[in-house]
Amino acid sequence: MRDATPGRPGPAERPAEVLRVPAFALFWSATTLRAFGGAVAGVAFQVLVVSVVQATPLQVSVLSALGVVPYLFLGLIIGAFMDRWRRQPTLVITSIGRALTLASLPVLILSDALTFWSLAAVVLILGILTLFGDSAAQPLLPHLVDRRSLVSANARLGQSATVASTAGPAIGGALLTLVGASLLFVFEAVVLAVAAVLQSRIRVDEQRAGVRTPGRHLGHEIVDGVRYTYRHETLRPLALSVHVWFLANSVVVTLFGLYTLRELQVPEWAFGLILGSAGVGGFFGAVIAPRVGARLGAGRAILLGRVLAVVPWATLALLPLAASTSLAVLVPVLAAAQFVYALSMGIEDANEMGYRQAVAPDVLQGRMNSTIRTTNRVVFFFGALSAGLFVTVLGFPLTLGLAAAVFAVAALIIAFSPVRSARHDDDPSSAG
């Protein structure tokens, strides 16, 4: 498999369909299966937290934050190792580990051993495995497709993930009623095992991933990655914007299930449908992302996504929704909010990831991605912890309004920086 180092395509050249590339097709299939399994079991997990464990708002915040704790201590280190190690075997090992960890949940449920602390331990282990998997997947992708196909590849991944998240929550809500949470977690464990088999069949040349400069210690390599990211003309403001976005995202992700299930008392089946609408929005966003990026440029496409993210949460903050509000009103409003929010992510994700992967050299891919991702998770950690405190003091409407204002700041950073005019065919050597 050729490495992703081609030059700019000529005017008549068009990127080939990425799903015709065998290595990417396997990568895409495994990622899609994982997304589908996670979407089905995700409904069960949220209901488990709110209804079975009876978690308080503060405990919900703690569980949300625990998933990103590994990034605080290991994020930069693992990112540097990903510029030394082969990434494909790492994906296989982490998928197997996630399958075994999720398989422990039915055992805990059936043995009445599921408590807040045992659930917290599962979340923490999954967070560590997710760190390894994400650190391997993002720098591996430029080895699977040409540079000019990165946006299309990220869009394909986004499309399949959002199709999974469209069907998954609705199916998960129905299956939760029919078979219970235990079998849903068994289902996800099996799906992850199949994904590991597919990942093991990927054939890719990763010779450069193991290169190490003599005399350079891991600490030096980490510092090099941080310096490169935050001194780069466009990666710096892009990173700062996504850090701010993650702060707002941590609040809304942490509180939305609590807000919908407990504050507004929406039934579980309706909650599954609401989450499913996010999949529809994300799918449309990912479908149009390559076209939007080609027409507007990477920077303006990212800005469009950032601006759209403000709308749903500002709307929910201003609308007088309550448990007494009719379901005929609550479900469409909440579903529309999820649709628009996911639409914004679908548009910006493919363009942002494609731009980052194209601009950074392969020898810095792991460290650049880990630098941004680790800071994102640190921000998410503190945002998720503070979400419970904010909603306790301010209530849901004001807290959601505060999140909308933070989303607006993330958009303004893009609007008033060189990122706004960035394009996918920018010369990687022209900045930084």
Higher pLDDT, 52 or 143: 143
DSSP string, 353-383: HHHHHHHS-HHHHHHHHHHHHHHHHHHHHHH
User: Which residues have CB under 8 Å from 250's CB, separation 6+?
Assistant: 64, 379, 380, 381, 382, 383, 384, 387
* Polymer length in residues for the chain: 432
Residue with tokens 């065919």: 425
User: Which residues have CB under 8 Å from 284's CB, separation 6+?
Assistant: 343, 346
Higher pLDDT, 150 or 209: 150
Q: Given pLDDT bands bounded at 50, 70 and 90, which one contains residue 239?
A: very high
- Contact 293/301 with Cβ under 8 angstroms? yes
Q: Given pLDDT bands bounded at 50, 70 and 90, which one contains residue 130?
A: confident
**Whether residue 282 has pLDDT greater than 80:** yes
- Contact 20/156 with Cβ under 8 angstroms? no
> By percentage, how much of the chain surpasses pLDDT 90?
27
**Whether residue 142 has pLDDT greater than 90:** no
**Closest among 82, 40, 335 to 208, alpha carbons compared:** 82
Q: Note the pLDDT of residue 4.
A: 38
Whole-angstrom Cα distance, residue 385 to residue 383? Answer: 5
Domains defined along the chain, listed by start: 18-206+216-430 (1.20.1250.20)
Q: Return the H-helix or E-strand segment holding 210.
A: none
**Whether residue 399 has pLDDT greater than 90:** yes
Supply the pTM of this predicted model: 0.74
**Closest among 252, 375, 371, 238 to 305, alpha carbons compared:** 238
Alpha helix stretches (DSSP H) within 48-180: 57-66, 69-82, 87-110, 116-144, 150-179
Question: Average pLDDT of 203-208?
Answer: 71
Residue with tokens 């950690």: 381
Higher pLDDT, 191 or 61: 191
- pLDDT tens digits, one per residue of 9-34: 443 345 567 888 888 899 999 988 88
**Whether residue 212 has pLDDT greater than 70:** no
**Whether residue 253 has pLDDT greater than 80:** yes
Q: Which amino acid is at 340?
A: V
Highest mean pLDDT among 70-74, 79-83, 205-209, 231-235: 231-235
Q: Given pLDDT bands bounded at 50, 70 and 90, which one contains residue 272?
A: confident
Q: Note the pLDDT of residue 187.
A: 82
